[in-house]
Amino acid sequence: MRLPAWFAEPAEQSVPEPELRVSTLELFFDLVFVFTVTQLTHVLVTGLETPAPGHPAVTIGESTLRVVLLFGVMWWMYSGYVWLLNSVPPVRPARRVLVLLGMTGFLLMALAIPSTFDGGGPAFAVGYLLLVVVHGALYLQATRAIVRVIPFNLAATALIGAAAFVPAPYDYLLWAAALVLLWGSPYFIGQKGFSLRAAHVVERHGLLVIVVLGESMLAIGIGAADLTVDLGLGLAGALGLCLAACLWWAYFGGDDETAAEHALAAAEPVTRTRMILGAYFYGHIPILLGVVAVSGGIKKVIGHPLDPLKPSAAIMLGLGVALYLAGDFWFRRVLALGQTRVRSLAAAAALVTAAAGLWSAMAQLALLVLVLVTMLAVEHRASRILDA
């Protein structure tokens, strides 16, 4: 992430850092967070379905806006806990209890997500406040720099809480203000004082991407519930698995994790923190939102694989893959990992597949798999030529 010229901090001397691996408690924490991602897929899909009697109609545009706002504020706090446990490993019982308390906040938010904009806002705000308080209290054990962050987190929580008592569309404005406050705060907080271990950050985000991709497989199971398993359903399920596998391969197929770890470890602490902010906070936003959109699209495909998709569903499926590749492109550019041009072309091609979805849902799914397989094959050939 490139910061304004007026923002400058002195470089800190790099020192050897003890190795820190992701703990099982952190994996447990991630599973709770991924439940919130599953709930976001549900919110997104409501914009494609006929509302139940007594429930207000929600357009795809409105459901998309809700997903972006909800994910945006939750991703800020999830990343905050990644940084927290990087600096304050949960090795003591008291720390573990506090982390579990933070998980309770995420669970409360996840349960409130489907109704956050329809009466469930106070529950979401309470869960968010719990996250913020636990995060700040624990982080103070590692660095006083967190004092610069806490006012932004509390102010955003107040805006989210106030939005629960404001009618639409003003509630969306308060949510947007909270999101801008959080995402823009690094420009004012600065990165000095947040020394992060490179290997832990790389491993933690890699494991999160795997778990979130597994959530896309849940979409297949949910979409196929109570359906007879015939040839069409079987092929659609297989193509959905192939699509998820290609997305996995795009992220994990090479030695990029090792290269990313080396690039971060070689940087001095302030520069490393900026690189992590750009690659793993901002860069992973479209990656995870892309998986949410892909999951929603696959859910619609599984139900009627041979039928045409609604334009909004076809665009959502193609856009999901494009977002994932765009985030991966951003992530690689920040860390100078290479193989970015072909991925930008593949992202554009993924958007074009929406036209095929208007003819057949399965045709679009097959084209998306073809685009990704072609991209991976071209990259593999290019890497072999470079190694020769």
Mean pLDDT of 247-254: 88
Structural domain boundaries, residue 331: 213-388
Based on the fold, state whether residues 188 and 223 are members of the same structural domain. Answer: no
Mean pLDDT of 147-173: 94
- Domain end (from 195, 228, 263): 195
pTM: 0.88
Lowest mean pLDDT among 67-76, 105-114, 123-132, 377-386: 377-386
pLDDT value for 56: 66
Based on the fold, state whether residues 217 and 184 are members of the same structural domain. Answer: no
Based on the fold, state whether residues 238 and 140 are members of the same structural domain. Answer: no
Decide if 281 is inside a domain: yes
Alpha-carbon torsion 49, 50, 53, 59, what sign? positive
pLDDT value for 6: 36
pLDDT value for 249: 92
Residue 134 has pLDDT above 90, yes or no: yes
Based on the fold, state whether residues 148 and 228 are members of the same structural domain. Answer: no
Decide if 243 is inside a domain: yes
pLDDT, one tens digit per residue, over 261-317 is: 989 988 888 889 899 999 999 999 999 999 989 988 888 888 778 889 889 889 999
Decide if 3 is inside a domain: no
Grade residue 219 by pLDDT with cuts at 50, 70 and 90: low
Decide if 189 is inside a domain: yes
pLDDT, one tens digit per residue, over 192-208 is: 878 888 899 999 999 99
- Domain end (from 161, 195, 229): 195
Based on the fold, state whether residues 111 and 228 are members of the same structural domain. Answer: no
Average pLDDT, the chain: 86
Q: How many domains does the chain have?
A: 2
Q: Which residues of 145-183 are buried (b: 16+ CB within 10 A; e: fewer)?
A: bbebbbebbeebbebbbbbbeeeeeebbebbbbbbebbb
Contact 70, 43 (CB under 8 A): yes
Cα(138)–Cα(143) distance, integer angstroms: 10
Based on the fold, state whether residues 365 and 233 are members of the same structural domain. Answer: yes
Residue 16 has pLDDT above 80, yes or no: no
Based on the fold, state whether residues 277 and 186 are members of the same structural domain. Answer: no
Mean pLDDT of 34-58: 76
Residue 350's closest CA among 324, 332, 379? Answer: 324
Based on the fold, state whether residues 363 and 296 are members of the same structural domain. Answer: yes
Based on the fold, state whether residues 186 and 227 are members of the same structural domain. Answer: no
Tokens of 339: 């193989």
pLDDT value for 54: 57
Based on the fold, state whether residues 261 and 359 are members of the same structural domain. Answer: yes
Cα(345)–Cα(336) distance, integer angstroms: 18
Q: What's the burial of 384, exposed, middle or buried (CB within 10 Å: 0-12/13-18/19+)?
A: exposed
